Structure 1
Amino acid sequence: MLKRLLDMAAAVVALVVLSPVMLAVAMLVAMRLGRPVIFVQPRPGRDGRIFLLRKFRSMRDVDEASGLISDADRLTPFGRKLRSTSLDELPSLWNVLRGDMSVVGPRPLLVEYLPKYTPVQARRHEVRPGITGLAQVSGRNALSWEDKFALDVEYVDNRSLKLDARIIIATIRSVVAREGISAEGQATMTKFGEGDG
């Protein structure tokens, strides 16, 4: 309950304080990538319940005629910068305020991954997903899926406000250093089940 109250307070303060930044980013996304400005996608949350994740759009639309199919093709230099600074995550604060997410927790992944998890890996859904988490500050997309899931379960088993505070501080350092933004040889991260995991 205390964690939820702290999440709500942090989300409200962040949404108010960062509203000028969010407005500026929204305008840049509209100019550079077009509309819609907000990317909305179903993701599994606590206990596997599906919610709509919100982020700033960082990729161009799929366009087979123009060859814009893969993440590498669709991710522009502007989109890369948006992701490297984690500014694309700011709309997710709304998900935190709604109770879909927490500030800290395992990252919400694709719905299509749900049947692929082992029983141990599926334990990542025992808590609300987070904007940042233990896996994100331990290597982000540079980690293998197996390592990510192990860290997610480690967080579930050892979660505490003290650990959350450590992860938030480490997140700030990671964002400033722009570490682990993409997997080696990838624009973002390979899909779970494709050559790893």
Structure 2
Amino acid sequence: MKSTHNVLLAWTKSAAITTVMVTGTALLMTACSTVKPPAKEYSQDRLDDQMLVPAGNVVALETTAVGLLNYECRPNPANAGAIGWVLMKPEAEMRDRTGKVVGRYVGPPATWTHTDGSSVVGTQLALAPTTGATNIPNQLSRGTPSAAPGAMQNITYIQRIRTKGGQDMSKRCTQTEVGDKLTLPYQADYIFWKAA
């Protein structure tokens, strides 16, 4: 009788342990399935050719900027003096992929300043249209870094991509409105590159 009791007791313990292990494994698998995978390395695969950074450069910093673009109705020298909305002052806060504020963007000239004190000035090389008439175009700029050491020290190129807003020019701008101001919110990703 004792041996049957011992076998029954051992079987009950074994079944209980198996149930706990199966349940624990299932819970662990469920918890792991909700964990986000690490961010993939930035890719230029979906960009227009004129936005591509040349080979021999690598991504140094990825940011998302949110801010304002301030325009004035005036003659535009870049457009043969025709009257239109001219960008006077961009200003935005830059956050890295973790959401941490890492710098500011202002102009003119287009200048990105990191919180570590380093900065880079961009010279536009190319523009590419984006989806949506009110989104500013994608942009590729060549970087001229300041001498200050830090994150922006060796930046060679800056891409402005995934833009939202900043270009609703439906407000009238003619000779009568010269001097009028227009402020538009915008968002864009700025990808900073350096030589490999």
Quick check: which one's strand share is greater? Answer: 2
Q: Larger Cα Rg: Structure 1 or Structure 2? A: 2
State TM-score, norm by structure 1.
Answer: 0.21
TM-score by length of 2: 0.21
Larger fraction in helix: 1
